[in-house]
């Protein structure tokens, strides 16, 4: 495998560093030789291994501009793929800046957005029509439940989410129902997943809809089976650029390979990625894709970007030392791009518990703020969501402005989903899932029983729900309140649809939301959230005006679905390590580096090396987010699911090279001085609030310094109370506590019982 031969830095078609020509165009000035190589090696397959902070985005965008400006291709002949909308947007903007004007008609976007665009052109090949709806997670699940229901599957044992997960994983691997072999289908839902998958797909076609996975799956299937369509794209795309290649899953890989491998021509595909930052295997990403690049594209050139312009030498040293513990890497060492001998060492702080940890971080943030540090340049990066709470509480208490990144998104709010459902039915009357969502919102006296009847009628006649209800109304088969309210709703929708070309989508949607009573429903709501929801709805209608049609708007929402938050606000960010990928901050806090938290308990339980290495990459990503200052912390005891558990420092802490790290608190004692010391809280973190517990223990600890603990010794722990030492292993103890049971902990957190 490629990973075992990382010796040659550059292979294949390129072996000379282009000399920085004095007459090189402006946009190529002030790039380092590796970057120039990555940009100027335009033809033939190229893998750019771009370490954290090595100017990856700059290379990608400059390469794009270079291909255009050197006359190698027209803008629409370059396919540029990213994972997130944010990355796509950033690329588009920077290309515009480089070229001096915004460029139109680019094939630049996320895998899914590009596939949606392609699928609209060829939808008929997979039984859809070009106006198909893209379902969100909610709809997917609802649809799947409908499919499962008649099968009488025990939803306790086999939750629909689980089945949906199986289906999605198949889709990630490029498996249509026909391609799933019976052998693959036995582990879940008594071997009926394959059948469920098939009927789920059939229902989607009936609804003229597809889910997210289908965007990739359908297009790949078309490219696989329609040589004429494939040839068309081969002729179109002369160059392909891929960002974050290490995150591609199998279907994305297949899609790229189909587009790149052209009969009788070389593949001008350039993939940029970093195997050390692959942290999404649990989502189907295959690091193998990047490790295998040379085999897939023979004659591929490889360029390594290793000069890091982001972080201090100390931070890079710590991160590099850590990631060196992983096997099977493509091999890459970050070198400081600038001279930064004055940089601070990475700090590792030991604390008692999560409250202490939050207090420590809060104090340090206050200190930084007082020193003029920008709040938006500080981040607290956690492994998992539950860790954020302690920090939030502390920051609120201190009055420090923060935001938790990655909470509920705009599109996930109930009122936005409702309003979108109204628009979807307006746009496509056959959208049963959307109709179901709104039929009784606001209340129209339609219960489960009535819906059952409508469904039956629609199924029998083979028509959409709205059509079936329309027929039933005409025949007088619906009575009472339901009759009037449904007639009014269908009337609103029909009139809106008819008025659409005349009055425009903004006016029509606005009126539909008003006349259907949806807006009134929230006006009548007395809860505190209601005004906010009305604001959101106004915002949504306002956003409509940015699009030339309802269809385009819905497409955008389905694919982009993100919350455009007020940027630039002076707040520190709390987010997960995953969420921080691609970002950078002056100061980064990395709390919770404990066995069982980071690496996570689940990874430890699985016991595999792969999982652990991914956690280590996550740690690497965390450290490399910091420009100037990284502060790692670990607590000796943490409350997990309601009870206190003692925690060992993360193995990743031990893996940091000593010369780049300074430790404060208990870890420093255990790392360098060994047994018998109580936690000492470093003066590096000036204590403003009094911490009686910690201080007490430190004092007592010092008074008995030098006393070795042996098996049978009676000890006292601040949280667990009294206990007896049952084994000693270096500085690690097993203690049988009288009340709290048996725990494993660092000797420095207990003291000899009086």
Partner DNA sequence: GGATCGCTGATTTTT
Partner DNA sequence: TCAGCGATCC
Site for DNA in 177-236 (CB under 7 A): 212
Site for DNA in 66-85 (CB under 7 A): 83-85
Interface with DNA (CB under 7 A), residue from 32, 73, 86, 457: 86
Torsion of CA 102, 103, 105, 110, to 10 degrees: -80
CB closer to DNA, 86 vs 714: 86
Q: Shortest distance, CB of residue 443 to DNA, whole angstroms?
A: 5
Q: Which helix (H) or strand (E) holds 77?
A: none
**Of the listed pieces 370-378, 439-447, 523-531, 583-591, which binds DNA according to CB under 7 A?**
439-447
Q: How would you classify the pairing of strands 46-50 and 378-382?
A: unpaired
Please check whether residue 197 is in contact with residue 148, taking contact to mean a CB–CB distance below 8 angstroms: no
Alpha carbon 201 to chain centroid, angstroms: 26
Is 664 a residue that touches DNA (CB under 7 A)? no
Residue 714's φ and ψ, nearest 5 degrees, are -85, 130
**Of the listed pieces 51-59, 416-424, 571-579, 691-699, which binds DNA according to CB under 7 A?**
571-579
Nearest alpha-carbon partner for 750 in 726, 715, 721:
715
Interface with DNA (CB under 7 A), residue from 4, 74, 226, 283: 283
Torsion of CA 121, 65, 36, 294, to 10 degrees: 10
Q: Which helix (H) or strand (E) holds 350?
A: strand 346-351
Size of the site for DNA (CB under 7 A): 38
Q: Choosing from 11, 13, 42, 57, which is the catalytic residue? A: 57
Is 559 a residue that touches DNA (CB under 7 A)? yes
| Residue 670 annotated in active site | no
51 marked as part of a ligand binding site: yes
Is 54 a residue that touches DNA (CB under 7 A)? no
53 marked as part of a ligand binding site: yes
Q: Shortest distance, CB of residue 577 to DNA, whole angstroms?
A: 7
| Residue 57 annotated in active site | yes
Is 741 a residue that touches DNA (CB under 7 A)? no
Is 113 a residue that touches DNA (CB under 7 A)? yes
Per the DSSP assignment, residues forming a β-bridge with 590 are 632
Interface with DNA (CB under 7 A), residue from 375, 398, 561, 648: 561
Site for DNA in 443-502 (CB under 7 A): 443, 445-447
666 marked as part of a ligand binding site: no
CB closer to DNA, 579 vs 657: 579
50 marked as part of a ligand binding site: yes
Q: Shortest distance, CB of residue 168 to DNA, whole angstroms?
A: 8
Q: Shortest distance, CB of residue 594 to DNA, whole angstroms?
A: 13
Is 252 a residue that touches DNA (CB under 7 A)? no
To 10 degrees, what angle do helices 354-370 and 388-398 make?
50
Is 583 a residue that touches DNA (CB under 7 A)? no
57 marked as part of a ligand binding site: yes
- How many Å apart are CA 13 and CA 29, to the nearest integer? 23
Sign (positive or negative) of CA dihedral 23, 25, 26, 30 = negative
Read off the tokens for 714: 């009676």
Other Cβ atoms within 10 Å of 29 Cβ, number: 11
Collect all residues with Cβ–Cβ distance below 8 Å to 735 and sequence separation of at least 6: 715, 717, 720, 723, 724, 725, 726, 742, 743, 744, 745, 750
Could you say which DSSP state residue 298 is in?
T
Interface with DNA (CB under 7 A), residue from 18, 406, 551, 657: 406
Interface with DNA (CB under 7 A), residue from 600, 669, 697, 713: 600
Is 110 a residue that touches DNA (CB under 7 A)? yes
**Of the listed pieces 24-32, 364-372, 381-389, 726-734, which binds DNA according to CB under 7 A?**
381-389
CB closer to DNA, 27 vs 547: 547
Please check whether residue 384 is in contact with residue 576, taking contact to mean a CB–CB distance below 8 angstroms: yes
| Residue 529 annotated in active site | no
How far apart, in Å, are the Cα atoms of 106 and each of 92, 102, 110, 350, 409? 9, 10, 12, 51, 28
How far apart, in Å, are the Cα atoms of 156 and each of 132, 152, 153, 159, 161? 33, 11, 9, 6, 11
Is 141 a residue that touches DNA (CB under 7 A)? no
Could you say which DSSP state residue 430 is in?
T
- How many Å apart are CA 577 and CA 580, to the nearest integer? 5
| Residue 161 annotated in active site | no
Binding-site members for ATP are 50-57
List residues binding DNA (CB under 7 A).
83-86, 110-113, 137, 212, 279, 282-283, 383-386, 406, 440, 443, 445-447, 559, 561-562, 575-576, 578-579, 600, 602-603, 611, 615, 639, 641-642
As annotated, the active-site residues are: 56-57, 243-244, 277, 625
Binding-site members are 50-57
């Amino acid at each position: 495998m490629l990973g075992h031969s990382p010796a040659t830095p550059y292979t294949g078609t390129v072996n000379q560093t282009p000399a920085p020509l004095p007459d090189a165009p402006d946009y190529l000035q002030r790039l380092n030789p590796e970057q120039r190589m990555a940009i100027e090696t335009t033809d033939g397959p190229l893998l750019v291994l771009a370490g954290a902070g090595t100017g990856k985005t700059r290379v990608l965008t400059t390469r794009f501009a270079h291909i255009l400006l050197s006359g190698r291709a027209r803008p629409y002949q370059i396919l540029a793929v990213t994972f997130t909308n944010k990355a796509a947007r950033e690329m588009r903007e920077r290309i515009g800046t480089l070229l001096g004007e915004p460029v139109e008609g680019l094939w630049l976007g996320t895998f899914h957005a590009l596939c949606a665009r392609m699928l609209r052109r060829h939808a008929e090949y997979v039984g859809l029509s070009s106006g198909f709806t893209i379902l969100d997670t909610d709809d997917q699940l609802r649809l799947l439940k409908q499919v499962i229901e008649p099968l009488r599957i025990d939803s306790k044992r086999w939750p629909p989410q689980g089945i949906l997960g199986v289906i999605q994983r198949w889709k990630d691997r490029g498996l249509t129902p026909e391609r799933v072999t019976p052998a693959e289908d036995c582990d879940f839902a008594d071997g009926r997943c394959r059948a469920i998958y098939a009927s789920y797909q059939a229902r989607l076609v009936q609804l003229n809809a597809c889910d997210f996975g289908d965007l990739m799956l359908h297009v790949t299937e078309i490219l696989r089976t329609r040589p004429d369509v494939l040839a068309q794209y081969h002729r179109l795309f002369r160059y392909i650029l891929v960002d974050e290649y290490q995150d591609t899953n199998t279907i994305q890989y297949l899609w790229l390979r189909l587009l790149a491998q052209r009969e009788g021509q070389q593949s001008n595909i350039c993939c940029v990625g970093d195997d050390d930052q692959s942290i999404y295997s649990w989502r189907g990403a295959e690091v193998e894709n990047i490790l295998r690049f040379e085999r897939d594209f023979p004659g591929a050139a490889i360029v390594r970007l290793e000069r890091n312009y982001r972080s201090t030498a100390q931070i890079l040293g710590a991160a590099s030392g850590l990631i060196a513990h992983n096997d099977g890497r493509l091999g890459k060492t970050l070198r400081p791009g600038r001279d930064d001998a004055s940089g601070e060492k990475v700090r590792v702080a030991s604390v008692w518990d999560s409250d202490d940890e939050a207090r420590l971080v809060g104090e340090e943030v206050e200190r930084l703020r007082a020193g003029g540090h920008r709040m938006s340049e500080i981040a607290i990066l956690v492994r998992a969501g539950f860790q954020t709470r302690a920090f939030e509480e502390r920051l609120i208490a201190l009055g420090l402005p923060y935001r938790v990144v990655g909470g509920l998104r705009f599109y996930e709010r109930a009122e936005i989903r409702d309003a979108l459902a109204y628009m979807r039915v307006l746009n496509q009357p056959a959208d049963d899932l959307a109709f179901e969502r709104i039929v009784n919102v606001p209340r129209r006296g339609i219960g489960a029983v009535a819906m059952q009847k409508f469904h039956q009628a629609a199924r029998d006649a083979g028509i959409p729900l709205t059509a079936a209800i329309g027929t039933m109304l005409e025949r007088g088969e619906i009575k009472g309140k339901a009759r009037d309210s449904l007639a009014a709703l269908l009337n609103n929708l029909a009139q809106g649809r008819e008025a659409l070309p005349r009055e425009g989508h903004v006016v029509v949607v606005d009126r539909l939301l008003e006349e259907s009573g949806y807006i009134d429903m929230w006006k009548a709501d007395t809860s505190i959230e209601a005004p906010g929801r009305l604001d959101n709805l106004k915002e949504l209608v306002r956003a409509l005006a940015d699009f030339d049609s309802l269809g385009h708007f819905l497409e955008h929402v389905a694919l982009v679905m993100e919350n455009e938050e007020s940027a630039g606000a002076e707040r520190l960010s709390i987010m997960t390590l995953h969420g921080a990928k691609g970002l950078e901050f002056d100061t980064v806090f990395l709390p919770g580096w404990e066995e069982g938290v980071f690496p996570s308990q689940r990874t430890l339980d699985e016991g595999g090396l792969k999982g652990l290495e991914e956690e280590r990459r996550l740690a690497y990503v965390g450290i490399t987010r910091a420009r100037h200052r990284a502060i790692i912390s670990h607590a000796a005891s943490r409350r997990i699911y309601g009870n206190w558990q003692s925690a060992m420092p993360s193995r990743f802490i031990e893996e940091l090279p000593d010369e780049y790290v300074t430790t404060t608190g208990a870890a420093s004692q255990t790392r360098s001085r060994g047994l018998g010391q109580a936690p000492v809280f470093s003066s590096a973190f000036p204590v403003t609030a009094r911490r009686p517990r910690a201080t007490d223990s430190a004092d007592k600890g010092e008074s008995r310094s030098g006393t070795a603990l042996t098996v049978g010794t009676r000890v006292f722990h601040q949280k667990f109370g009294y206990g007896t030492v049952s084994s000693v292993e270096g500085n690690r103890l097993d203690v049988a506590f009288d009340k709290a049971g048996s725990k494993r902990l660092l000797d420095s957190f207990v003291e000899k019982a009086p």
